Amino acid sequence: MKIAVCIKQVPAYSSEMVSNETGTVIRSGIKSMLNPYDLPAIETAVRIKGKIGANIDIFTMGPREAEAVIREAYSRGADRGFLVNDKRFSGADVLATSYTISQAMKTVDSYDLIICGRQSTDGCTAQVGGELAKLLDIPSVNWVNKICDIDDCSITVEQLLEKEKLVLKIPYPCLISVEPSIYSPRMPSLKLKILASKKDIKILSLKDMKDKDFKHYGLRGSATKVEKIFPAPKIERQDIIEKDPTEVAKDIFKLISLVKDL
């Protein structure tokens, strides 16, 4: 089986990561990390590999510094890593990002199963998986909470919805986006960490893509234009006031009445 896992390097959050002057995310000088939602995706691939055998390829788009998250994936059991890196890919929205990754995958191999995390902590759109599946013309299932069964032809998963759970059998090739609760990520082993530092990482640029039209990538290929990003206002810690339940109910009623009048 051939498995591809999509991961992302994200900024480690801080209160100062958005510029008040420009309204853009400040990435320079901010510590980066592997997107936490991608750890269960890597773990899912490694569990499948241990059960039926598989080759696991890692894909991430970003600067050369993003090699660090690929090496972390190596230390958790991944086999090969591909960094999608080109200045013409910068400024990409979700659509352009998905298109670029789909082109990279087509360049490398044909995959039976593609695994994504639920979302990234910097964008939080949770759309890359679905758009990637659409571009590759394969079925996809989001919110996968459990792998029920897997064989050479299909994978059976449990999909976690708001009020119910569905069990779905999906033929290959397909894509799944997994929930954090699917598996607890393992700790990287010392042996794999040592090996990870020596393993090669393949860089894929525009010249490697089947579609070499730069207008389809990066800012030019993006359907959305972000005017400004700003952090949510901080909520100061509030004092806890203990009162008689009847008095509390009266106070809440007064507040509701005020809101209704507005």
Residue 231 has pLDDT above 80, yes or no: no
Q: Which two tokens stand for residue 123?
A: 């964008």
77: closest CA among 239, 227, 188?
188
- Cβ–Cβ < 8 Å for 197, 75: no
Instruction: State CA 208 to chain mean position distance.
Output: 23
pLDDT at 147 exceeding the cut of 70: yes
Query: How far is the C-alpha of 193 from the C-alpha of 190, rounded, in Å?
Result: 5
Average pLDDT for 93-112: 96
Per-residue model confidence (pLDDT) at position 242: 83
Q: Are 26 and 122 in contact (CB under 8 A)?
A: no
Encode pLDDT of 9-23 as tens digits. Answer: 998 865 556 666 655
Instruction: Please give the pLDDT value at position 54.
Output: 97
pLDDT, position 151: 94
Closest CA to 74 of 238, 236, 198: 198
* Average confidence (pLDDT) over 233-250: 81
Q: Which of 98, 53, 61, 59 is nearest to 80 (CA)?
A: 59
Asked if residue 211 has pLDDT above 60, the reply is yes
**Percent of the chain whose pLDDT exceeds 70:** 90
Give the pLDDT confidence score for residue 140 in this predicted structure: 97
Instruction: Compute the distance between CA of residue 222 and CA of residue 211 in angstroms, rounded to an integer.
Output: 16
pLDDT above 90: percentage of residues in the chain? 69
Rounded to 10 degrees, the C-alpha dihedral 34/38/39/45 comes to -130
Selection from 102-106, 228-232, 238-242, 252-256 with the highest mean pLDDT = 102-106
Q: What's residue 24's pLDDT?
A: 54
Give me 141's structure tokens. 């299932």
Residue 91: its pLDDT value, please?
86
Per-residue pLDDT band at 118 (split at 50, 70, 90): very high
pTM of the model: 0.83
Question: Is 43 or 223 the better-scoring residue by pLDDT?
Answer: 43
pLDDT of amino acid 259: 67
Token pair recorded at residue 104: 């990279």
User: Which residues are bridge partners to 176 per DSSP?
Assistant: 115, 141
Q: What is the assigned CATH class of domain 2-216?
A: alpha beta
Greatest Cα pair distance in the chain: 71
pLDDT of amino acid 261? 58
What average pLDDT does range 27-54 have in this prediction? 91
